[in-house]
Amino acid sequence: MIKMVATDIDGTILGYDFVFRPAVKKCIKDLCEHGIKVVLVTGRMHYATTNIAEELGITTPLVSYQGGLIKEQGENGKVLYEKTLSPERAREIIKWAKENNIHMNLYMDDVLYVENDNIAIRRYTGERYIPYEVCNFDDLEIKNVNKMLAIDFDDAQKVTGWVNYLRDKMPELYIVKSTPYFCEITNNEAKKSCAVEFLRNLWGFKPEEVMTIGDQDNDIELLKAGGISVAMGNGTPGLKECADFVTETIENDGFVKAVEKFCKIKV
């Protein structure tokens, strides 16, 4: 019996138009009413996830920064788990980005910093309604770095190159593409699998009582933590290879169909 559904957000339950389909909202409501814990597991910052949880009526702790932060909801929400980048590595990455003219998002203490107010950051935050601060990273005290995100909306192959380069140079970090245009850089224990396992143990659930579902390569770690792992029909080829089951696309309510199949509830 499934007792926990751990789900990615973008491309899994939230459409590319950044709107939730009615069937998905009803499905999540039904899961909660049946006593099944629904956990949002995302690369987003915590700040940009709270409004989604509120809209969906989800009250469980939120997993953000690829698994680098698990925090209870509310103004004074308790931090249950946190893994950050070392200041030394963060400075190295900042230096590399500057030398190669790469747009970098820097997240510290759940605040987003950028050095240039350019098209990349306006496109990124405009879709997610996230405030950001513009400053010279050299003027910041680099500490409590939740995540770094290198972006190029025009060249996905270039982003793949960044991932390969940084993995080779910094093998102790967790570096992954979360979309074709995003290179995510976090602590090696800031993985979706680590966060799901933490919550599963906290609540005393067995692996087979957990369903995980996602759509991108950064969800491979998420799927590893599920007794039942599901890839969206719109998922990457790499993710589908890791899944127990491939459901329909997000346009065809793939999340809902997976819930009906494995959670044994009629939505």
How many CB atoms lie under 10 A from the CB of residue 40? 24
Is the confidence at residue 129, as pLDDT, over 80?
no
Measured in residues, the chain has a length of 267
pLDDT at 267: 67
Name residues whose C-beta falls within 8 Å of residue 33's C-beta, 6 or more positions apart in sequence: none
Orientation angle between helical segments 47-56 and 22-33, nearest 10 degrees: 80
CA distance 212 to 2: 10
How many CB atoms lie under 10 A from the CB of residue 107? 26
Confidence band for 204, pLDDT divided at 50, 70 and 90: very high
Per-residue pLDDT tens for 57-87? 999 999 999 999 999 998 889 999 999 999 9
CA distance 196 to 191: 9
* Ordered DSSP codes for the chain: ---EEEE--BTTTB-TTS---HHHHHHHHHHHHTT-EEEEB-SS-SHHHHHHHHHHT--SPEEEGGGTEEE-SSTTPPEEEE--B-HHHHHHHHHHHHHTT-EEEEEETTEEEES---HHHHHHHHTTT---EE--GGGS---SEEEEEEE-SS-HHHHHHHHHHHHHH-TTEEEEEEETTEEEEEETT--HHHHHHHHHHHHT--GGGEEEEESSGGGHHHHHT-SEEEE-TTS-HHHHHH-SEE---GGGTHHHHHHHHHS----
How many CB atoms lie under 10 A from the CB of residue 133? 12
Confidence band for 126, pLDDT divided at 50, 70 and 90: confident
Per-residue pLDDT tens for 15-65? 988 899 999 999 999 999 999 999 999 999 999 999 999 999 999 999 999
CA distance 217 to 22: 26
Burial of 128 (0-12, 13-18, 19+ CB in 10 A): middle
Indicate the pTM of the whole model: 0.94
CATH 3.30.1240.10 maps onto the chain at: 87-187
pLDDT at 74: 87
Assign a CATH topology to domain 87-187: 3.30.1240
CATH 3.40.50.1000 maps onto the chain at: 4-82+190-262
Per-residue pLDDT tens for 110-123? 999 999 999 999 99
Distance of CA 33 to the CA centre of its chain: 25
Among the listed residues 267, 214, 216, the one whose alpha carbon sits nearest the alpha carbon of residue 245:
214
Q: What is the mean pLDDT of residues 210-229?
A: 97
Assign a CATH topology to domain 4-82+190-262: Rossmann fold (3.40.50)
